[in-house]
A and B are shown apart, each in its own frame.
Chain A
């Protein structure tokens, strides 16, 4: 190579393909960050992230999912009215099989009426139907069904891409620990053939993680997963650690937070799942009851804490008919 060509090659290597600003701009455009309702709003989330919402039962995890789903399926703007949704499609994989669609419809209706005011019911119904069309739901009664659904999801999304164009997706799984005991107990006799794998907890989750990774690389998708803390500590331990949570508003004492550093639940998912998750939130009911000024009832409040990335404060929220609302 002549000297000039070598110099030119070195120079172009030093200059790089694009500047940092260009790279960030490109990343923002292709995978924009989504604005999700509280308490998921603290950290900007984008397609490619895997968020895990963990908590004991009951702690409003499914309500958070439904609230997020409502924000996603609403269109951004329609007939001149700004609804503020994302217009993305939501794929809901129900492993618990406890999803109540009427709750989703109730929350969606509240949002629409809030925007439209109390007029135009025919328009409301149209928007409701339009949003519900963006919502896809599947139930899985065991791990085989879950694996089958994930394996065939790619083709389904490809077909949708051809007909509807590229849109963002939100994949929700409720809840990932549903088949934990069944898979753990499925001991198998050694099968013929040395290459054969059997349906164990580790193998199932490996395949789930692999398939999810491939789905996320082929279609821009944010994954939100709930996880119930089913392998809990005994009741006494629970109470002991529980009482050390400060009530919201007093987040000065770092010494108090020191005691909270150890999560009071045991992580039961294997490491392959734990490393797949990019963000983690912990939700639980709090002891305080919030007295609502307008209604006579006391609503149970829940607190949420971001574990990954760790934010050193707690969000408090209540669940009302209209949805999930942050308090304080």
Chain B
């Protein structure tokens, strides 16, 4: 967060007088400004001898703050962006495509949960076959290296966006639960905070660079012995689409059910067969 001192070079109205006025009130950076009550600051500023300059300076900081958040989008723009950029990627599996009305949608994060040997990893090559443009593999063993990879990807995508070519279409994280489970303690909030930040970053990449994101999760025992997806209550609110995969014993028949979707009723299921 930019400090007021550093902003002075860009905006000379934030002169040392204003900086000391702010420093008295514990404001040194733009972030401090955010956490303050603006009205009381303005009231204070009006009582100062150089109140006009201070008001202009406050407006200048507000202008800087206006650049800190995402732009407000109008409904019409949003609609056009969704129709132009947010297409679906086929999963290569008819049953799943039918369930998801086309496949994985760009701009959305899809979770595929299932116990081991339920076909999660077998699903991946099918998805990849459709998207042979660029397959880059990164092995990550903890969540921090995943953050590193994603941040590098973000800079790369930003650069590509400026240049106008955009190759990447799909990010697969297999499995996100193996990265998050070790850090999820029972009462500490750091683990969950990292989980939320990781998903926030994935959702940002998905939306801004029009990628589809697929993450896999394992299952834990639920009520009545029915497996449910792992990672707890806080996880449920994070992905856009949630799918639960299960396999009929000893056969090639898999069943995928839709737990959550922003625009399709949950509870639907589809069966399909994967032949090796």
Give residues in A with beta carbon < 8 Å to B: 56-58, 62, 73, 96-106, 129, 131-142, 144-149, 151-152, 155-156, 175, 177-179, 181-182, 184-186, 192-199, 203-204, 207, 210, 214, 228-232, 235-236, 239, 289, 297-300, 319-320
* Cross-chain contact of A214 among B39, B69, B71, B83 (Cβ < 8 A): B39
Among B24, B65, B260, chain A packs the most CB atoms within 10 A around the CB of B65
CB proximity of A201 to chain B, nearest CB, Å: 9
Q: Does B189 lie within 8 Å of A100, measured CB to CB?
A: no
Judge whether B73 and A137 touch: CB under 8 Å.
Answer: yes
Indicate which residue in A131, A133, A140, A297 contacts B265 across the interface (CB closer than 8 Å): A297
Q: B265 near A300 (CB under 8 angstroms)? A: yes
Interface residue SS majority, chain A: mixed
Q: How far is the CB of B251 from chain A (nearest CB, A)?
A: 26
Report chain B residues within 8 Å CB of A144.
1, 31, 34, 68
Whether a CB of chain A sits under 8 angstroms from the CB of B218 is no
The answer to whether A207 and B36 touch across the interface, beta carbons within 8 angstroms, is yes
**Contact assessment for A185 and B189 in the assembled complex, using a CB-CB cutoff below 8 Å:** yes
List of B residues within 8 angstroms of A182 by Cβ: 193, 196-197
Which residue in B24, B75, B234 is a CB contact (below 8 Å) of A135? B75
Q: A136 contacts which of B72, B108, B259, B266 (Cβ < 8 Å)? A: B72
Known interface pairs A151-B34, A182-B196, A203-B35. Does A140 touch B75 (Cβ–Cβ under 8 Å)? no
For the complex formed, measure the closest distance between the CB of B73 and the CB atoms of chain A, giving whole angstroms.
5
Give chain A residues whose Cβ lies under 8 Å from the Cβ of B25: 195
Instruction: Report B187-199 CB contacts with A as 1/0, cut-off 8 Å.
Output: 0111011011100
Task: Give the shortest distance, in Å, between A135 (CB) and chain B (any CB).
Answer: 3
The answer, yes or no, to whether B28 is at the interface (CB within 8 Å) is yes
Best-buried of A57, A103, A192, A204 by chain B (most CB within 10 Å): A57
Q: Which of A134, A138, A179 contacts B73 (CB 8 A)?
A: A138
For A175, the chain B residues whose CB sits under 8 A away are 237
| Contact (Cβ within 8 A) B266 A300 | yes
Are A235 and B222 closer than 8 Å at their CB atoms?
Answer: yes
Does A148 lie within 8 Å of B66, measured CB to CB? yes
**With A58-B259, A182-B193 known to touch, is A145 a contact of B70 (CB < 8 Å)?**
yes
Closest to A300 in B: B267
Instruction: Please state if A184 and B79 are interface contacts (CB–CB under 8 Å).
Output: no
**Does any Cβ of A come within 8 Å of B200's Cβ?**
yes
Chain A CB within 10 Å — which of B25, B75, B204, B260 has the most? B75
Q: Bound complex: CA of A148 vs CA of B30, how far in Å? A: 10
CB distance B74 to A199 under 8 Å?
no
* Cβ–Cβ contact B34 & A147, under 8 A: yes
Instruction: Kindly identify which residue among B68, B197, B236, B263 contacts A106, using a CB–CB cutoff of 8 Å.
Output: B263
Cα separation A319 to B108 with both chains bound (whole Å)? 21
